[in-house]
Structure 1
Amino acid sequence: MPSFFQPPVTPLPNGVNLHGQTAIVTGASSGIGVEIARQLLEVKASTVILAVRNLTKGEAVRRSLLAAKPEAVIKVMKLDTEDYKSVQNFTKTFRAEHSELHLLMLNAGIGTLKREMTPTGHEKNVQVNYLSNVLLMLELLPLLNSTADKTGARARVTWTGSRFHGATALANKAPLQSGETVLGHFDSEESFVAFARYADSKLLCVLFLYEMRKHLASDKVIVNTFCPGMVNSGMSDVLPIYLRLPMNAIKALRARSPEKAAWIALNAAIVAGPESHGEFLGDKAIVEPVAYIKSADGQKVQKMLWNETIDEMSRLTTIPAWISKV
């Protein structure tokens, strides 16, 4: 039986130096994102972009980081992952202002229990946690590739994930019906399972990466995802009060600090090597796919999702040559 308490984790090894490198951290106005940005500055990242929905909060974070590192180059940029147009505006502006990108940390995420739709027409958790992150990555991959060519070192993309992806509603509560699409299923009101939707959205991320690694080599860009474990952040604030109180009590006993969660994030982003490409890391170790993903149904959904995501992204951005349907 797994231990109630989470195992200890260690900080980055000595000697990590990101001097000359530019990093983007999404969701950088609170929680893990703030700590990731702070630690990137500690290892001498030359430019850190705080990609945030709320510019006022982002500027407050920038000021607090500059108070500790007055010599740092920290920029705040608007990014609302509920809306494709905001993603496109962000990437267009970034590419116009920066000739290199070494590290993209896809950290923005939500876990709402109420079914809401976004301007894109998709369910909010799926849009924020999955679709907008795919678009952001595809829009910036050419720059990541050119940076790798220029520097001779691999660029990196890492995605904040969750072990909860194994608790997806697809496994037993709301499986795909004949004729359904994956994205259509999650957009439908009938399939919405409130306490599984966060897991559902994180499953989509893992499925995409597992399929992506069959198409994209790790010679220029390493892409992975990780779970930081239970973290003492504001993610549980969306819970109703009768659940929030016991959850906060549990967090007080077992949750990691944002500082330790960022150690795990930066391990995936900086320390883990090509072997982590297209993999899910639980803490710092590569984890085997969960039972649902290995099942025949899971493999079918993985391919369906890949094809549907290609169709979705082709309406928004230039699809790279390495992407093909399966």
Structure 2
Amino acid sequence: MPVASIDMGDEAVTSLFPGPFIKSQFRTKTRLPPPGTDLTSCVAIITGANSGIGLHAARHLLSLKLSHLVIAVRTLPKGELAAAWLRQDYPFAKVEVWPLEMTSYASIQAFVARVDSDLPRLDFTILNAGLMKPTFGVCTGTGHEEVIQVNFTSTYFLAILMLPLCKVKAPTVKPGRLTIVSSGTSLTAKFVNRNLRPLLASFDSVDPKGVSSAAWDPTDRYFTSKMLGHLFFVRLLDYLRGEDVIVNLVEPGMCKSSDLHRDLSGPVGLFIEGWKNLCGRKPQDGAWTYVDAVCVKGPESHGCFLMDWEIHPFTKLVYEPEGKAIMNALWEEAMAEYAFAGVRDILERSKAGSL
């Protein structure tokens, strides 16, 4: 069996440049599923799949004869346009568009309730929805900063709520599959407020207690949101059973024409678009990492971070002495944030194998 991410601390990196970046973007070949991969009768959910890498992942799954796809989107008209495109090329499949607003806990709960009531089967879930913002903003419903809310707090709230459904709606001969989209940028985040408490609340002002040198750093805020995912995921592993649901993180690589940076403009936006066009993978190539993580990789990938189609170390902070206190604080604050939805009970039942 391959070495798990949690046991790869000696290989963890704090910088992607130049070596790891060059290897990832220029020396890694796209890996397709094994010949004969057939997803007939299978059902999949992809969040944020009306554009970008998520939409390409939807096409890939349908090209493998997926029978039923649910695209979860914030804006239904955009989702319907994407679905019409998919239905045109894959008329044999059922393609549905469901609303999901990742800044709203109520929307997330409603989405999960619909999965419970409307889907008799669920094979694959890919949590792809993500956000990068050029300016600081707060979600009106939660009071939290938008990037942290969408990329971390809401994503893991949704992941926990989906655990029971991923188990009970999977075919009896296979465990459920849940893949959360991460990023290699998680390995290099500055995370300047790591020692502030409460931790999550410290993200809700532009410059908490003067810890940052700039009023707003959109790139590092995105990087940090993904680093938080690694820190939380490692604590979550104590409650996950691979025989029930195989859960992993996946990094698609930097891709051309991805929709992540759509809100960036000015010099930063121009630089990122130019850099992506020069060095990025084709988005359809990056999307194959999702397919690999959710339906090609097996139990060996449970609890792991996948990068370049291989198991990769988590962010280095996971393995360092100071990381434990940060992970504990993050865990307890997230559990308090999610308490209204009974997540501790879900996790205890998951740990006991009684989902």
Residues 46 and 128, structure 2, Cα contact 8 Å, conserved in 1: yes
Task: Look up the SS of the partner of 1:237 in the other structure.
Answer: coil
Task: Look up the SS of the partner of 2:180 in the other structure.
Answer: strand
The Cα of 1:323 is off from its aligned counterpart by 6.7
The number of residues matched between the two structures is 319
**Alpha-carbon distance in 2 for matches of 1:75, 1:65:** 10
2:195 aligned residue: 176
The letter for the 2-side match of 1:109 is: G
What is the root-mean-square deviation of aligned Cα atoms in Å?
1.8
The Cα of 1:301 is off from its aligned counterpart by 1.1
Residues 86 and 138 of structure 1: CA distance in aligned 2, closer, same or farther (over 3 Å): same
Task: Look up the SS of the partner of 1:174 in the other structure.
Answer: coil
Task: Look up the SS of the partner of 1:234 in the other structure.
Answer: coil
Which of 90, 114, 124 is the matching residue for 2:135? Answer: 114
The Cα of 1:198 is off from its aligned counterpart by 0.3
1:130 aligned residue: 152
> Any residues of structure 2 matched to 1:287-298 within 5 Å, and which?
287-298=312-323
Which of 177, 188, 192 is the matching residue for 1:167? Answer: 188
**Alpha-carbon distance in 2 for matches of 1:225, 1:140:** 15
Which of 16, 19, 25 is the matching residue for 2:46? Answer: 25
Residues 132 and 218, structure 2, Cα contact 8 Å, conserved in 1: no
1:139 aligned residue: 161
Task: Look up the SS of the partner of 1:224 in the other structure.
Answer: strand
Task: Look up the SS of the partner of 1:268 in the other structure.
Answer: helix
Task: Look up the SS of the partner of 2:115 in the other structure.
Answer: helix
Which of 69, 86, 93 is the matching residue for 2:114? Answer: 93
**Alpha-carbon distance in 1 for matches of 2:46, 2:80:** 14
The Cα of 1:74 is off from its aligned counterpart by 0.5
> Any residues of structure 2 matched to 1:182-261 within 5 Å, and which?
182-191=199-208, 193-232=217-256, 233-261=258-286
Residues 24 and 103, structure 1, Cα contact 8 Å, conserved in 2: yes
Residues 156 and 269, structure 1, Cα contact 8 Å, conserved in 2: yes
The letter for the 2-side match of 1:184 is: A
Residues 276 and 286, structure 1, Cα contact 8 Å, conserved in 2: yes
Gaps of 5+ in 2: 1-17, 209-215
The Cα of 1:322 is off from its aligned counterpart by 4.2
1:51 aligned residue: 72
Task: Look up the SS of the partner of 1:236 in the other structure.
Answer: coil
Gaps of 5+ in 1: none
Residues 132 and 219, structure 2, Cα contact 8 Å, conserved in 1: no
Task: Look up the SS of the partner of 1:238 in the other structure.
Answer: coil
**Alpha-carbon distance in 1 for matches of 2:183, 2:331:** 20
**Alpha-carbon distance in 2 for matches of 1:234, 1:139:** 26
> Any residues of structure 2 matched to 1:302-313 within 5 Å, and which?
302-313=327-338
The letter for the 1-side match of 2:153 is: L
Segment of structure 1 superposing worse, 264-273 or 10-19:
10-19
**Alpha-carbon distance in 2 for matches of 1:255, 1:309:** 34
**Alpha-carbon distance in 1 for matches of 2:334, 2:349:** 14
Residues 50 and 78, structure 2, Cα contact 8 Å, conserved in 1: yes
Which of 289, 299, 303 is the matching residue for 1:264? Answer: 289
Instruction: For CA contacts below 8 A with separation 6 or more, give which structure has more relative contact order.
Output: 2
Task: Look up the SS of the partner of 1:57 in the other structure.
Answer: helix
Residues 210 and 279, structure 1, Cα contact 8 Å, conserved in 2: no
Which of 149, 153, 170 is the matching residue for 2:174? Answer: 153
Task: Look up the SS of the partner of 1:25 in the other structure.
Answer: strand
Residues 227 and 315, structure 2, Cα contact 8 Å, conserved in 1: no
The letter for the 2-side match of 1:76 is: V
The Cα of 1:93 is off from its aligned counterpart by 1.9
Task: Look up the SS of the partner of 1:156 in the other structure.
Answer: strand
Task: Look up the SS of the partner of 2:49 in the other structure.
Answer: coil
**Alpha-carbon distance in 2 for matches of 1:167, 1:62:** 36
TM-score w.r.t. the length of structure 1 is: 0.92
The letter for the 2-side match of 1:301 is: I
Task: Look up the SS of the partner of 1:70 in the other structure.
Answer: coil
Task: Look up the SS of the partner of 1:112 in the other structure.
Answer: coil
Q: Does 1:78 align with 2:131?
A: no
**Alpha-carbon distance in 1 for matches of 2:269, 2:220:** 16
